[in-house]
Chain A
Amino acid sequence: KAGVTQTPRYLIKTRGQQVTLSCSPISGHRSVSWYQQTPGQGLQFLFEYFSETQRNKGNFPGRFSGRQFSNSRSEMNVSTLELGDSALYLCASSSDRGRGDTFFGQGTRLTVV
C-alpha cells in the first residue's frame, strides 16, 4: 500500500508569490490534514479535510487555504508569500474518521527568498 505522497519535495519561491502544494493520502483514507514545521514554532496544525469539507482550522492567516477533492487528494495554497512562511509542510492522512493512526508524507520544503 502506497504511503502519503507529497509533491513537490522542494520549492523555492519569491516573496509575494503564491504556491500550491499537493498531497495524495493513503488509499481509503478520507481525512487529510496539513501541518507546518519550523524551528521556532515546531509542528503546528493548519487545517483538516474530511470528505471534501474543512473540518478543522488552525490559527493561521487567511493566506493559507486548502481544499480536498472527491478522490481525497488535497492541495494547500499559500498566497502572498512572506519570508516567515519558509518551513517544512507536512500532510497527513488517517482513516477511522480521523481517530486512528495518522500517517505523514515526506513533506514539502518551502523556501521563500
Chain B
Amino acid sequence: SQQGEEDPQALSIQEGENATMNCSYKTSINNLQWYRQNSGRGLVHLILIRSNEREKHSGRLRVTLDTSKKSSSLLITASRAADTASYFCATLMIKAAGNKLTFGGGTRVLVKP
C-alpha cells in the first residue's frame, strides 16, 4: 500500500523556473525523505526532514513539512534540464519496526531547455 500521494503526477516547466511538488501521507511519521530517480536508475537521496522539523534547505532544494496537514512539499528553484527526473517522497511511519519506507507514486518533472 502507498502511504504517500504525490501531486502533481507530472510537471513540465521551462529551465530557470521553479518546480513545486507535494506529498501527502496518512499516518504519523518519524521522518520523510525525498528522492530523485532518473529513468530506470537508482534513487538518489535528496533530503530527510524529521517530524519535529518544519523546513530544510539543501542547495536549490527547499522542503517543508506540515505534520498537522500530513503533507510535505519539495521546491526546486532555478530548475535546470538536468533536474528532469521522477521525484518520490518516502515516509517512515512512527510505529514502524525498523526501516520500512513507504513511497508515493512520484512526480515526473520535465525541464525544457
A interface residues, Cβ below 8 angstroms from B? 4, 6, 31, 33, 35, 42-45, 48, 50, 55-56, 58, 88, 90, 92, 94, 97-107, 109
Contacts and interface: CB of A to CB of B under 8 A. Distances in A.
Query: What class of interface size applies to chain B in its complex with A?
Result: 20 to 34
Interface of B: 2, 30-31, 33, 35, 40-45, 48, 88, 90, 92, 96-103, 105-106
Contacts of A6: 42
Given A100-B48, A101-B48, A106-B42, A43 B99 contact: no
Nearest to B99: A98
Nearest to A101: B48
B103 to A, nearest CB: 4
Contacts of A105: 42
Given A42-B2, A99-B30, A99-B92, A104 B102 contact: no
A106 B38 CA distance: 10
A94 to B, nearest CB: 5
